[in-house]
Amino acid sequence: MANFLSERGVRLGRVVPATCVLVLLHFGQDFLQPLAIASMLALVVAPLVRRLSRSGLGATASTLVSVALVAACVVWMSAVLTIQLVSVAGDLPRYRAAIEAKVESVRERTVRPFERLDEQLRGALPTTEVGRDRAGAPARSSARQSRANQAAVATPAPAPAPAPPQAPSTSDLVSKLLSALVGPIAEVGIVFVLLVFILLERESLGDRFIRLVGESRLGTTVQALNDTAQGVSRFFLAQATVNAAFGVVVAAGLWLIGIPHAALWGAIGGVLRFVPYVGVLGAAALIALFSAAVDPGWTLVFASLGLFLALELLVAHVIEPQVYGHSTGLAPLAVIVSALFWGALWGPVGLLLSTPLTLCLVVVGRHVAALEPLTILLTESPGLNAGQRFYQRALGGSTATIIQDARAFLRRDSFARYCDQTLLPGLALGLADFRSGRIDGQQLARIQTQVVRLAESFATTKLGWRARRRASIVLTDAHVGTRLREMREARLGRWQGKLDVPSGSIALCVSSGSDRDELLTELLVRALNDAAIDARSVSMGEPPDRSADDKAQLVGTVFVTYPPQDAFAAWVALTTEFRAALPHAVLATIRLPLDHALASQEEVAAQVDLVLHSYAEAETFMLEGGKAA
């Protein structure tokens, strides 16, 4: 009972504060909206203030000059848009004929076919029903006539028509216009006043926040503030620049193709582009509707839509990836959900600020534990590293997803780094869970099967589609590494390649015969082969074959797996044997940070020429000549 009450108290302790925050956001929007807009503008203007300060102006002068520039831009854009809106309102009667023609054309293609079909169906009715209707028509007609006569007697004389309304005077129009503009102008003034003071006190505000959080979390708080103030600021400034340029280009393009009031529609396109996803569609729809009203035909409609589509594709897929990395790091669904959330709370202002506000929460959540769930839910990365994702998908048997992710990784990096960052960490998680009893042998075999299928997929890709038609993979009692080596020997031959190669060009990867060593050795061979290095493997768990002893001079480097502590003595005997058989070769080992209870590096280093720490290091070592320092 006590545990239940404590768990219920913890849940209430999380739900009640969240509810209070939502209530505060909704009912306090008149106070919070100007503050949020000023804070977002401060993040955009802050780089300009810092640059002016470094040029020699003081902090106050830099702030005032920056805010004055922003205010001038806002006033100029507002004046241009107001003039354009007044002009559009005056021109609307001219577009009435074109709008009616477009509506009639659309109706002719959509509604008229159904009306004609209805007329044809009515004409196909039986004649008896038609005759019945005609027979009853005189009676109904006389009844309607009598009712009409009674209504005419009972209807009083029509009242005199009211006098036409007087046209409003100029003073009335001015007063109405001023009353409509007082509210927005006052809000803009409040935003700029807040902007000035936020920029002037940005350093002291950070110090106060750090003092409020406490000195015990000084490092985390400073890092969170730096990430928000610099990274987010650069992103907002880049986004504002891109959207402004987008609006300018849209306006110029619409002007060139002959659409009136192009500046207005370019500004609308640039502003609506701040609204994620739907803003671009809304701007395109507005421009298309206005083009349809202007042009009696359809030429301007298709021309404007083509221009908008081409510019959006260029900006979204070419310019944005170069300017700020294509993405905010937010998941697409999270962007839509955040737009719905902030739009429901704050209306149009919430739609415009949804992405900036959500991004700020995500950045702060990377350093503040209370907001970390938001970071996990809203970002593209679900909080799992590459090894954990591989382990999760291998455990679920998602072979296609694993292969797809691996190919995407290999398009930008090497197989050696894929092993270091994804494959080996995922296998280590599986082995750790198996040893602790969290998964059984069947689940471990499923993970091993995914490794074999992944390796075979890469091999068959180079061989062509015929190799993919082999029978499905079935793991026997053989180790995974042994199975992979058998597959490679079946494809390349007994010696895993030709023997007429230059002296010292082969990298020999040696396994002690254990399941762990067989797998690590085979993955190393494949990683080196992927980098065009002639790597081959040998297992000491099998009977030795002396038929190729005369080819020992072909081996330039020998990689032996790093030993666990309990197998160190057998490993020393193995390295001693290879040191005697190949005295001219470099003897190396790779200490991977995956296993526990490994032998000490000092003891291992005394037996080999080189100790590496990843497959990527081994690849780099071989590409640089394979000579130990």
**Cβ(557)–Cβ(626) below 8 Å:** yes
The highest-confidence range among 382-386, 472-476, 546-550, by mean pLDDT, is 382-386
Closest CA to 255 of 303, 193, 310: 303
Tell the residue number behind the tokens 């309304």, with chain if given: 165
pLDDT tens for 311-335 read 888 887 778 766 655 455 677 777 7
| Integer Cα distance of 450 and 447 in angstroms | 5
Q: Collapse the DSSP code of 611 into the 3-class scheme (helix H, G, I; strand E, B; otherwise coil) and give the result.
A: strand
**Cβ(505)–Cβ(533) below 8 Å:** no
Listed in order, the ranges of the chain carrying CATH 3.40.50.10140 are 501-629
Radius of gyration of the chain (CA): 38
**Cβ(392)–Cβ(587) below 8 Å:** no
Share of the chain above pLDDT 70, in %: 71
Taking phi first (over 0 means left), then psi (-120 to 50 degrees means alpha), and beta for anything else, what does residue 214 get? left
pLDDT band at 214 (very low <50, low <70, confident <90, very high): low
Q: How far apart are the first and last CA of the chain?
A: 67
| Integer Cα distance of 341 and 350 in angstroms | 8
Residue of 313 and 184 predicted with greater confidence: 313
**Cβ(591)–Cβ(424) below 8 Å:** no
Q: Collapse the DSSP code of 245 into the 3-class scheme (helix H, G, I; strand E, B; otherwise coil) and give the result.
A: helix
pLDDT band at 177 (very low <50, low <70, confident <90, very high): low
Helices marked H in 396-514: 399-410, 415-418, 424-436, 441-463, 480-492
Task: Count H helices and E strands in the chain, helices first.
Answer: 28, 5
- CB burial readout 468-481, b (16+ within 10 A) else e: eeeeeeeeeeebbb
pLDDT number for residue 90: 73
Q: Where are the beta strands (DSSP E) in 442-567?
A: 506-511, 535-539, 555-561
pLDDT band at 473 (very low <50, low <70, confident <90, very high): very low
- Which CATH superfamily groups domain 501-629? Toll/interleukin-1 receptor homology (TIR) domain (3.40.50.10140)
